[in-house]
A and B are shown apart, each in its own frame.
Chain A
């Protein structure tokens, strides 16, 4: 090791030093932004991303709508079922923004036209405030009356879990997303959906 180093001439060392300082100066400049379609798969770190969220919500909703509970409910009640999205717990090892996942779910469900949807607990709070305000300030013909809310028939709940197997540079990540649709009146589970995603991630051991 030492003998290798001693063969380096000082000129070479100096030019290396200059080169490296030049590198330090040049690497800092320029951010490059490229726009991509929101359906493009962009796997950067291997973490849960928008692609996973969209994939899961789409498949889950396809599944939930193809099951008999919708038609059974329509037959017995003569109307479309009303659903509310409850909590989707993040039990994974990543900080996943479950809100974007929930809004993906809501969008797919509403746009299907098969079911009615009611606002979530936090949204309801704001709406009630507004109605109170209308009661005081809005013209009577335009007021939205209180006490006319539609109660939900079902609640959608779920969780995101992960199993990570890791050794040195290699990682296998297994995501399991569980969703359950529960009858609000009877606590009966009418549908259970499950989606699994598996990824392997390899980290490089050298960089420039």
Chain B
């Protein structure tokens, strides 16, 4: 009698402990569920309310890499480039701190769930931080600071020195910016690396080398007088060498269009048989259950000419292949965890009866969630287009989703030799871009100083 009393007491204490600990976990919704509202707001073009959500999320986790990356992108969409860079810089610094693997987090992940491991972003996401920070610095009229970001991305890629982790759009963008900075040698190297990167990572994004990049590489090789290499690439691309003088006298339009939303990692629950336990166990892993829509290239109208953009980055494909590479380790960890949890439930049943077992089962069920964290405010794809312009005023009409009526008109005024960067983001065919019509472009005179006007 006394024995069962004490056991009863023990199980009650345990129950209390479990409840307290579940409170610490702040509920066991997956990150996909927690950020769903922010994504919905973003998809419908309500950037301000998405930003408010992101700020709230950051308050709960000020050192969170994902929270800072999301906040950074949303500040960008609100045209607050300084705040955007602050948040992205914070994410960058935390990633640096998290470089070493944490023993306690790994242990915790085996006992509770993978969200106990600090999120540091996938490698392509870490590189894209530099891409967006460079664009922000351009908006802020700090060309040299944008250059710093290019170099940092190079250090990162060198550190990994894995061809599969290369991010081709970063290399291509670096080439364009080095050209603007008046460093044709660095630009040539970047274009060449970009071509390699598109080839090395093709299985991840399904893109071949963009035609414009091929032309850019040929043009810079020819301008640098690197005739041997030029001959090789000319043959490889089967293209004539574009005239270099065209860009010297004329102005140029550089269009960077970001479209859609990267897919959300979602929780997939499945049951599997454990030989060790001779029982069925429940396992939760992240996955991308839904295919993303196919987004056709944007239509660009400039005077009487109509152009189509080229996809320079398929972030959707990068996200999916990145998860694919890790999914076997994630699943192994999830199965190991399920076994431990089942074992603990059985042990509880032996020691303190069914009440304790039920409590622990409830706790285990609740705490077993898939790690669905990802930089989920990124676009689905990035498109790039370059067109030489006659100096003077031009009317640019953009149709990001050509089959819909969605369009933006931008008036640009360029001086000879000037570069104009037009960078716009649409999160869906229903939403507006971050700028009102006729606003939002950066005019750059190559070789500094930089001139911006709106």
List residues of A whose CB falls within 8 A of some B CB. 1-3, 5-6, 8-11, 13-14, 16-18, 20-21, 23-24, 45, 89-95, 162, 164-168, 171, 203-208
A45 partner residues in chain B, CB cutoff 8 A: 96
Whole-angstrom distance between the Cβ of A103 and the nearest chain B Cβ: 18
Size range of the interface on B? 35 or more
Whole-angstrom distance between the Cβ of B115 and the nearest chain A Cβ: 13
- B101 interface neighbour in A90, A168, A206, Cβ under 8 Å: A206
Closest to B156 in A: A166
Main secondary structure of the interface of B (DSSP, over half): helix
Contact B21 A16 (CB under 8 A): no
Whole-angstrom distance between the Cβ of A117 and the nearest chain B Cβ: 25
Contact A10 B347 (CB under 8 A): yes
Contact A16 B107 (CB under 8 A): yes
Q: Which of A11, A20, A45 lies at the interface centre, i.e. has the most chain B CB atoms within 10 A of its CB?
A: A20
Contact A6 B103 (CB under 8 A): no
Docked complex Cα distance between A23 and B14 (Å): 19
Whole-angstrom distance between the Cβ of A138 and the nearest chain B Cβ: 35
Contact A208 B103 (CB under 8 A): yes
List residues of B whose CB falls within 8 A of some A CB. 14, 17, 20-21, 24, 96, 99-104, 107-108, 110-112, 144-145, 147-148, 151-152, 154-155, 158-159, 161, 276, 336, 339-340, 343-344, 347-348, 351, 360
- A6 interface neighbour in B100, B110, B111, B339, Cβ under 8 Å: B339
Contact A10 B344 (CB under 8 A): yes
Contact B100 A206 (CB under 8 A): yes
- A205 interface neighbour in B100, B110, B276, B360, Cβ under 8 Å: B100
A95 partner residues in chain B, CB cutoff 8 A: 145, 148
B100 partner residues in chain A, CB cutoff 8 A: 203-207
Write 13 A-B pairs (CB below 8 A) sorted by A numbering. A1-B336, A3-B276, A10-B347, A10-B348, A14-B17, A16-B111, A20-B104, A90-B144, A162-B151, A164-B155, A203-B99, A207-B103, A208-B104
A13 partner residues in chain B, CB cutoff 8 A: 111, 340, 344
Docked complex Cα distance between A23 and B147 (Å): 41
B343 partner residues in chain A, CB cutoff 8 A: 5-6, 8, 10
A206 partner residues in chain B, CB cutoff 8 A: 100-103
Contact A14 B14 (CB under 8 A): yes
Main secondary structure of the interface of A (DSSP, over half): mixed
Contact A208 B154 (CB under 8 A): no
- A207 interface neighbour in B14, B101, B110, B151, Cβ under 8 Å: B101
Docked complex Cα distance between A50 and B332 (Å): 47
Answer whether A23 and B104 are a contact pair too, CB < 8 Å, given A18-B21, A90-B144, A166-B159: yes
Answer whether A91 and B144 are a contact pair too, CB < 8 Å, given A21-B24, A208-B103: yes
Contact B17 A2 (CB under 8 A): no
- B148 interface neighbour in A1, A5, A10, A94, Cβ under 8 Å: A94
A6 partner residues in chain B, CB cutoff 8 A: 276, 339-340, 343
Closest to A207 in B: B100
Besides A1-B336, A93-B148, A171-B159, 19 other CB < 8 A contacts?
A2-B336, A5-B340, A8-B340, A10-B351, A16-B111, A90-B144, A93-B152, A93-B155, A95-B148, A164-B151, A166-B158, A166-B159, A167-B158, A167-B161, A204-B100, A206-B100, A206-B102, A206-B103, A207-B102
Contact A167 B21 (CB under 8 A): no
Smallest CB-CB A-B distances: 9 pairs:
A93-B151, A10-B347, A10-B344, A207-B100, A166-B159, A204-B100, A5-B340, A164-B155, A207-B102
A167 partner residues in chain B, CB cutoff 8 A: 158-159, 161
